[in-house]
Amino acid sequence: MLTDTRLERYADVLLWGLETARKGKFRKGDLVLIQYDPPALPLAELLYARVLDRGMSPVQRMGLTFRMERMFFEKSSGRQLTFIAPGERELLERVNGRIFLRAPESLTHLKEIDPLRIGKVLVARKSLKDILDRREEEGHYGWTLCTYPTKELALQAKTTPKTYENEIVRACWLDEEDPVRKWSWIHREIGRIKTWLGSLPVKSFRVESANMDLTVVPGEQRKWAGVSGHNIPSYEVFLSPDWRGTEGTYYANLPSYRSGNYVDGVRLTFRKGVAVGIQAATGAEFVRKQLAMDRGASRVGEFSLTDRRFSRIGRFMADTLFDENHGGAFGNCHVAVGSSYSDTYSGNPAELTREKKKALGFNDSALHWDLVNTENKTVTARLKTGKNVVVYDGGVFKV
């Protein structure tokens, strides 16, 4: 669907993202894993050549077709659900970079699958995620991902394939002759916002809109992250708060697709950090099962804000990568229930043991589910001095 020129620019941006995301530098001989859904083959081939040109070793892995994925969940026994192929752990222990090209041909093929079966797979494979998290913390590994346009995404976003493609082009600045230069500028500007937020002695944040009133406690030894190269596109700034301080009501007015299920109007009520009230206009039972996946699934692992002055995303895209970076009229706030990010720890993430994460209130879970609110909202920081400061209003940081 994308022209050759735009594919080349997409590859440029993804390699910029990969190099920016890794703490350590890439070297010749490094191993780069290229994972892709079948429709994204043209971009995967281009990246494969680029990795070779850099003297690194590409390893390609095509994802399951949606029919194969459905068969897996329909037919697998308990042991088959939790099976991990020989060599998979060994590969992840050696990989230095990973580029994931998402190009779903179906968003609803797992709709009839029991969410508990899907959750069992996620829990079983969490040990693989832990390997990559550790290697990233040590500076040995970096990753990035993007979305390749498909007819299914356009259908679920209620638009035409051409319009959807153009939205991706705009969101990733592929209509610019030098999109990497643009992303480098955004990286610097968002960096200034993160520095400003980090300079404030914040005790808690209060998020207020027409449908929510939520208090989030950043916690000790935290820093703001975002526009790190991990996601293309990315405009958000976020941190992983101390989950124990979450109180009040959060509302996601933007729908989302997860594991084949369409969910809309999610409303979560938190008490002492745990979602004790779980409602949804559509898909409520699915939401409840997701948040029961493990002990940490009903806690907050991420708190994020996007400034509308940077993001060119202004419509529902049926893709969390884009929806969590929505700009529009009022920017967006989103929280993720489930796992936290160690790169929001202000010290050396490699020093974050399981015990230290627990002591600091970093959440641990096999789940990570972003829920997005695009309402007009005000975010007020209550400082440790007792002063209140509005840090975000009308979709703009008040820096």
Q: Are residues 301 and 327 in the same domain?
A: yes
**CB within 8 A of 285, min separation 6: which ones?**
none
Instruction: Please give the order of strands across the beta sheet that includes 57-62.
Output: 57-62, 31-36, 97-102, 142-147
Residue 244 has pLDDT above 80, yes or no: yes
Lookup: tokens for 327: 């700009």
Buried b (16+ CB within 10 A) or exposed e, 300-322: bbbbbbbbbebbbbeebbbbbbb
Last residue of a domain, one of 150, 177, 204: 177
**Predicted pLDDT at 1:** 77
- pLDDT band at 376; cut points 50, 70, 90: very high
**DSSP one-letter string for 29-87:** T-EEEEEE-GGGHHHHHHHHHHHHHTT-EEEEEEPPPHHHHHHHHHH--HHHHT---TT
Helix 126-137, helix 115-124: angle, nearest 10: 40
- Residue 83 belongs to a domain with what CATH number? 3.40.1830.10
Lookup: tokens for 200: 């404030």
**Predicted pLDDT at 230:** 94
Q: Are residues 132 and 258 in the same domain?
A: no
**Predicted pLDDT at 350:** 81
**Predicted pLDDT at 128:** 96
Closest CA to 307 of 377, 216, 368, 209: 377
Helix 115-124, helix 66-75: angle, nearest 10: 100
Helix 179-199, helix 4-21: angle, nearest 10: 30
**Predicted pLDDT at 352:** 87
Q: Looking at the 3D structure of the chain, how many domains does it have?
A: 2
Question: Do residues 169 and 6 make contact, with C-beta atoms less than 8 angstroms apart?
Answer: yes
- pLDDT band at 395; cut points 50, 70, 90: very high
* CA 31 – CA 376 distance, rounded (Å): 44
In this structure, the number of other CB atoms found within 10 A of the CB of residue 359 comes to 10
Last residue of a domain, one of 177, 192, 207: 177
Lookup: tokens for 155: 């259908």
Residue 370 has pLDDT above 90, yes or no: yes
What is the percentage of the chain residues whose pLDDT exceeds 90?
Answer: 96
Tell me the average pLDDT across 190-219: 98
Q: Are residues 167 and 207 in the same domain?
A: no
Last residue of a domain, one of 132, 149, 177: 177
Tell me the average pLDDT across 1-6: 93
Residue 349 has pLDDT above 90, yes or no: no
**Predicted pLDDT at 233:** 97
What's the maximum distance between 2 C-alpha atoms anywhere in the chain?
58
Tell me the average pLDDT across 94-110: 97
Among 118-122, 179-183, 353-357, name the most confident range: 179-183
Q: Are residues 51 and 29 in the same domain?
A: yes
Tell me the average pLDDT across 134-159: 96
Q: Are residues 186 and 171 in the same domain?
A: no
Q: Are residues 252 and 132 in the same domain?
A: no
The one-letter amino acid code at 54 reads R
HSE, CB side, 13 Å, CA atoms: give it for residue 64. 10
* CA 34 – CA 187 distance, rounded (Å): 24
Q: Are residues 19 and 130 in the same domain?
A: yes
Alpha helix ranges (H) inside the chain: 4-21, 41-53, 66-75, 78-81, 88-94, 115-124, 126-137, 151-156, 161-171, 179-199, 284-290, 320-323, 354-360
Residue 314 has pLDDT above 80, yes or no: yes
Lookup: tokens for 375: 């309402």
Closest CA to 141 of 80, 85, 187, 97: 97
Q: Are residues 159 and 189 in the same domain?
A: no
- pLDDT band at 351; cut points 50, 70, 90: confident
| Mean model confidence pLDDT for the chain | 97
Q: Are residues 164 and 26 in the same domain?
A: yes
- pLDDT band at 269; cut points 50, 70, 90: very high
Residue 255 has pLDDT above 90, yes or no: yes
The range of the structural domain enclosing residue 87 comes to 4-177
Q: Tokens 């995303």 appear where?
A: 313
Closest CA to 292 of 365, 187, 379: 365
* CA 106 – CA 375 distance, rounded (Å): 29
Q: Are residues 350 and 209 in the same domain?
A: yes
Question: Do residues 390 and 398 make contact, with C-beta atoms less than 8 angstroms apart?
Answer: yes
Q: Quick check: pTM over 0.85?
A: yes
Q: Are residues 170 and 185 in the same domain?
A: no
**DSSP one-letter string for 379-399:** EEEEETTS-EEEEEETTEE--
Tell me the average pLDDT across 78-102: 97
Tell me phi and psi for residue 58, to 5 degrees: -80, 140
Q: Are residues 352 and 219 in the same domain?
A: yes
N-to-C CA span, the chain: 40
**What torsion, rounded to 10 degrees, do the Cα atoms 101, 102, 103, 107 define?**
170
Question: Do residues 105 and 66 make contact, with C-beta atoms less than 8 angstroms apart?
Answer: yes
